[in-house]
């Protein structure tokens, strides 16, 4: 009898442990803005580090271009597979609301990373896109202000500059431009910010746009590339126009292709985001929600400004994006 009770208790204990294990074996899908971008590749590294620490699975499914028309079918396919949670960088703050609502309606918790939908303030009872649980990202307005200060310092507080940007409707790059312009308007009256050039995330277009701006403004003093491809293109445009000595390039994002241009003097500063942090805390937040914890509705991650003074420092290496 005693043996029977012992073995029943043992079986019950095993059953509980088995159930707990099954419950924690979560699959989270990370849907980036695009798959071939060092920023999101680095974010996935951070996400995988968190997955390994937690013993769960994170998969990475995205489109090859930063485009809501291409991201939507990827997302629909992900929803069809029914992961436990979705981490997603929505490629348009308005157009991705309905596609993401389909995930929430299917009972899949949604957390946005890097970019947001609607106003980015979730779970406050206001707006169409209030349903994501959390938003984990850089402070993009603050980052735009940092870029403006780096620019102002490099050009001696005066001259003409412009923003090379992707397209309107993307929360991150819209906010960087907003922060850049606000900082210039408030603190640098002798800097004129010319009309923004939109490049559709195409570095070649960003490069040829520099040539056109230069033709209209031979005294152009600087370009702020508001994301990786904008900055890469701006740098290439400045270099092929032979203007590296005269025109300051401030880059948002820090793949090695941009950081190498700091060493060569073509790029003056790069505002490095911390994408691995975004991925890591994104997964941790999803896991917390899935295991019944309350989660913060937003988490802000940091920046590191890389310039000629620190580009060779050992501690900078970890902020250069993986490729």
Q: Which residues of the shown chain bind ligand T6T in the complex (CB under 6 A)?
A: 33, 37, 39-40, 114-115, 172, 227-229, 252-253
Nearer residue to ligand T6T within complex by CB, 37 or 239? 37
Listed in sequence order, the residues at least 6 apart from 123 whose beta carbon sits closer than 8 Å to its beta carbon are: 130, 131, 132, 133, 297
CB 253 → ligand T6T: shortest distance, Å?
5
Of 106, 26, 114, 133, nearest in space to 62 by CA: 114
Nearer residue to ligand T6T within complex by CB, 72 or 138? 138
Nearer residue to ligand T6T within complex by CB, 48 or 199? 199
Nearer residue to ligand T6T within complex by CB, 47 or 228? 228
User: Between β-strands 269-273 and 303-307, what pairing exists: parallel, antiparallel or unpaired?
Assistant: antiparallel
Of 254, 250, 296, nearest in space to 274 by CA: 254
CB 66 → ligand T6T: shortest distance, Å?
6
d(CA 295, CA 279): 16
Nearer residue to ligand T6T within complex by CB, 285 or 301? 301
CB 64 → ligand T6T: shortest distance, Å?
13
Structure tokens at 19: 């159930």
Dihedral sign for Cα atoms in the order 30, 113, 32, 319:
negative
CB 157 → ligand T6T: shortest distance, Å?
27
Neighbouring C-beta atoms of residue 164, cutoff 10 Å: 33
Nearer residue to ligand T6T within complex by CB, 29 or 257? 257
With beta carbons less than 8 A apart as the criterion, state whether 225 and 252 touch.
Answer: yes
CB 318 → ligand T6T: shortest distance, Å?
18
Nearer residue to ligand T6T within complex by CB, 39 or 210? 39
Give strand ranges (E) for the chain.
27-31, 57-60, 85-88, 110-113, 134-138, 159-165, 191-193, 197-198, 220-225, 248-252, 269-273, 298-301, 303-307
Structure tokens at 152: 């102002």
């Amino acid at each position: 009898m005693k043996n029977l009770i012992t073995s029943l208790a043992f079986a019950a204990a095993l059953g509980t442990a088995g159930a707990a294990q099954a419950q924690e074996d979560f699959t989270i899908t990370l849907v980036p803005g695009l798959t071939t971008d060092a920023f999101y590749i680095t974010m996935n590294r951070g996400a995988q580090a968190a997955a390994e620490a937690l013993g769960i699975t994170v998969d990475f499914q995205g489109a090859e271009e930063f485009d809501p028309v291409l991201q939507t079918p990827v997302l629909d396919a992900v929803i069809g597979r029914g992961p436990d949670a979705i981490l997603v960088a929505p490629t348009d703050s308005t157009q991705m609301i309905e596609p993401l609502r389909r995930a929430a309606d299917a009972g899949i918790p949604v957390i946005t990373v890097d970019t947001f939908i609607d106003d980015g303030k979730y779970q406050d009872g206001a707006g169409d896109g209030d349903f994501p649980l959390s938003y984990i990202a850089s402070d993009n307005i603050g980052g735009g202000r940092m870029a403006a200060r780096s620019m102002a310092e490099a050009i001696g507080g005066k001259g003409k500059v412009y923003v090379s940007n992707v397209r309107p409707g993307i929360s991150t790059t819209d906010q960087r431009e907003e922060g850049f312009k606000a900082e210039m308007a408030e603190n640098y009256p002798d800097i004129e910010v010319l009309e923004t050039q939109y490049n559709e995330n195409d570095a070649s277009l960003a490069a040829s746009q520099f040539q056109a701006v230069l033709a209209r403004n031979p005294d152009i003093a600087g370009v702020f590339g508001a994301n990786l491809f904008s900055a890469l293109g701006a740098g290439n445009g400045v270099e092929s126009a032979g203007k590296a000595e005269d025109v300051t390039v401030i880059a948002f994002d820090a793949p090695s292709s941009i950081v190498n241009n700091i060493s060569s003097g073509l790029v003056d500063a790069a505002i490095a985001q911390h994408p691995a942090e975004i991925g890591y805390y994104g997964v941790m937040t999803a896991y917390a929600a899935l295991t019944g914890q309350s989660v913060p509705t937003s988490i802000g991650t940091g920046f590191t400004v890389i310039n000629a003074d620190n580009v060779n420092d050992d501690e900078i290496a970890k902020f250069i994006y993986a490729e």
